[in-house]
Structure 1
Amino acid sequence: MIVTCFRRALVASLALFLVFESRISAQEQLHLTAFGNTEGLSQNSIYSVIKDHKGLMWFATQDGLNKYDGYKVSVYKYRIGDRRALPSNFITSLAEDKAGDLWVGTRLNGLSRFNRSADNFTTFRHFPANPSSISSDKVQVVYRDRADNLWIGTGNGLNLFASKTGQFLRYYPAGEAGGYTANSVSAIYEDKNRNLWIGTAEGLFLFNRGSGHFTSYQEKSVSVDFDDAVNAITEDSRARIWLGTNTGLKLLDRGSKAFAILRSLLIFCLQL
């Protein structure tokens, strides 16, 4: 398998490929083609990449949303005074829902849905007086689960979007709203048993969708250099949970809740 890691603001090329399992034979050739602003991208720092149901490639950058149809790149950006444009050029995460709509997370300006027929955007913002609005305008990850639910990880909590009402249900790993590091949700992953794993700035949590309860899988360390932050989560063919963190790859032992650290390397994205 290939693990594709997009290293935020650190790599000025489109992708870094890591060979992760021995199933790739020595005879196979991997060819990488550079694709950046010289090829039409609006900016070279890539935070998220998806291929939609039409085969179009979408790239989230620090300077706009880019669409590639195999021939040319189209760029969507913020426009002053245009409520149907993107609310920000700094795009952090992308996901496609069951209906084929593209969802766009921004760094500080909320969540947007791309309306394909009109070629414009509808934006959802945080409103302190409205508990059904998104819990924070700092969107860090957008994720679609197997039941086609749309989950949004923000700087202040996990959100579930209710498509029928256009409202958001809020969940807080820290137990309550506020500036707790545990509420900064940076990764979401549903495993083969439909468990929903949540990566935060304060470690890994298992979320019970029925009760709304979070179970912590935090490490314990007295080291001053210790960092709990989880940037990426995935599962291998043996149902093992892997984490991409600021201090390397970590492998979870579910029984003991202990972690094995494989390598000291900053990792932001994992996909098996």
Structure 2
Amino acid sequence: MNFKIQMTLIQLFWLTFLLTFCTSCNGQEQRTRQVEIPPRDVTTMQSRASQSMTQDQKGNIWFCDSIGVTVFNPSTNKFKHYTEKDGLSHNNVNSILEDNKGVIWLATANGITTYEDEIFSVITIPTIIGNMNYIKTSSNLYAHIENFINCILQDSKGNFWFGNQKGIYKFDGKDYSHFTENDGVQNNTGYAISDGQIFGPESIIEDKSGKIWFGGRGTDGLFCYDGKTLNHYNVDSIEWVRPLMQSSNGDVWFNARRKPMLYTYDGKSFKSFTSIELKDWVFTMLEDNDKNLWFNNGKNDGVTFYDGKKFINYTTEIGVLHNASNFFCTGILKDKEGNIWFKSLSTELCKYDGKTFTFYQE
């Protein structure tokens, strides 16, 4: 073999080797190419506070009744009642909440009852607050007031808060605890909260910044927990102040027992809100989709509408009348379609669709 032929063969060998190597590397690069993984959307859930009325995921309207709880199905216009005979822990139901998984929680005079997959389950007072000399609530409710669960909140992190006559308790999905005894809580209230001096909260809400507000009978004013510090607010020296809701403009609304007025907190200061149209104390309110406010007007003066400029009083016992005083509204609800529902003491329901009031009664 002459020299030229030998060199040509050598060149062909190396050329083939390089082509094979490069092709193999390119193939490996394609097989192991990394794909950028989009960041996971981590958001907090919307908090849910118990009320005297709520709408479940199926569209049913739940409301506290004089005995037990009643469920109204708007698609069939049928009512269904549940009492202790059906599995409730007590017939005195103070408020209702549906959690983010669709479970119904009932705050009763004898612990908590949950409803899931058409089954009632009871969470007893000893389970919630620990060992105690427990006696089941009898027909004499106030002889066993320590068993009362007044209100429930599921906060934006998924924790549950319960207002009990002994104070505030939390449930993190595994354990129940008295939140004021948790490590890291700085107490700026001047009250010995670990000794149960703060008791009887009737309402708990969470605002958009994550602050937990609670107050009511026996709490000696209003309290706010920001995740680290517990603060106390003495609003006009009123002992019985309850947080009601937060409106779309960020104001937190509070009532004052037996006073025809409300208070708002804008993040800096408290302001009073009143009108000659408010006849008695307001204990339930909401904001509709058009940012109008609706409140119950005491025990006998129906419902009051406020659009930011004018007030209108409504009553629905004998139709829609202005300035009438014979309708005791005990609950207001905005459903998923934006309709406003009202409940009377006589358990009559009324729906307002923005134009017409429609009544439902058994």
TM-score by length of 2: 0.57
For 2:190, which of 127, 130, 133 is the aligned residue? 130
Deviation at 1:212, TM superposition (A): 2.5
**Mapped contact 2:214–2:242 kept (Cα < 8 A):** no
| Residue in 2 that maps onto 1:238 | 290
Change (3 A) 1:115 1:88: farther
Change (3 A) 1:218 1:128: farther
| Residue in 1 that maps onto 2:248 | 192
Q: Does 1:68 align with 2:115?
A: yes
**Mapped contact 1:153–1:188 kept (Cα < 8 A):** no
For 2:205, which of 143, 156, 178 is the aligned residue? 143
Deviation at 1:262, TM superposition (A): 3.0
Q: Matches of 2:289 and 2:205 in 1, distance apart?
A: 21
Q: Does 1:162 align with 2:217?
A: no
**Mapped contact 1:203–1:229 kept (Cα < 8 A):** yes
Spell out, residue by residue over 1:66-124, the C-alpha distance to the aligned partner (whole angstroms, 9 max, x if none).
Answer: 122225332222339x6478993211111101121111112x32111123213x33254
TM-score by length of 1: 0.74
**Mapped contact 1:187–1:232 kept (Cα < 8 A):** no
| Residue in 2 that maps onto 1:214 | 271
Deviation at 1:185, TM superposition (A): 2.3
Structure exhibiting the larger radius of gyration computed from Cα positions = 2
**Mapped contact 1:5–1:270 kept (Cα < 8 A):** no
Q: Does 1:31 align with 2:75?
A: no
Q: Matches of 2:305 and 2:91 in 1, distance apart?
A: 31
Supply the AA of the counterpart residue of 2:270: H
Spell out, residue by residue over 1:244-268, the C-alpha distance to the aligned partner (whole angstroms, 9 max, x if none).
Answer: 2312212235336x55243532223
Q: Matches of 1:234 and 1:213 in 2, distance apart?
A: 19
Deviation at 1:238, TM superposition (A): 2.7
Q: Which has the higher helix share?
A: 2
Q: Matches of 1:148 and 1:32 in 2, distance apart?
A: 36
For 1:250, which of 304, 313, 336 is the aligned residue? 304
Q: Which has the higher strand share?
A: 1
Q: Matches of 2:200 and 2:84 in 1, distance apart?
A: 26
Q: Does 1:91 align with 2:149?
A: yes
Q: Matches of 1:154 and 1:208 in 2, distance apart?
A: 17
| Residue in 2 that maps onto 1:229 | 281
Task: List alignment gaps of at least 5 residues for structure 2.
Answer: 1-53, 56-60, 135-144, 182-186, 317-325, 335-362
Worse-superposed segment, 95-104 or 29-38? 29-38
Secondary structure of residue in 2 paired with 1:188:
strand
Secondary structure of residue in 1 paired with 2:146:
coil
For 2:168, which of 82, 107, 111 is the aligned residue? 111
| Residue in 1 that maps onto 2:45 | none
| Residue in 1 that maps onto 2:125 | 78
Deviation at 1:65, TM superposition (A): 1.0
Deviation at 1:52, TM superposition (A): 1.4
Change (3 A) 1:169 1:6: farther
Secondary structure of residue in 2 paired with 1:159:
strand
Relative contact order: is structure 1 or structure 2 higher (C-alpha 8 Å, sep ≥ 6)?
1
Secondary structure of residue in 2 paired with 1:88:
helix
Q: Matches of 2:265 and 2:304 in 1, distance apart?
A: 22
Deviation at 1:187, TM superposition (A): 4.7
Q: Matches of 1:210 and 1:144 in 2, distance apart?
A: 13
* RMSD of aligned residue pairs (Cα, Å): 3.4
Describe how 1:3-14 pairs up with structure 2 within 5 A. Answer: 6-7=63-64, 11-14=66-69
For 2:88, which of 17, 33, 41 is the aligned residue? 41
Supply the AA of the counterpart residue of 1:139: P
Task: List alignment gaps of at least 5 residues for structure 1.
Answer: 222-226
**Mapped contact 2:69–2:82 kept (Cα < 8 A):** yes
Spell out, residue by residue over 1:25-64, the C-alpha distance to the aligned partner (whole angstroms, 9 max, x if none).
Answer: xxx4333332221221111221111121233221101111
Count of residue pairs brought into register by the alignment: 243
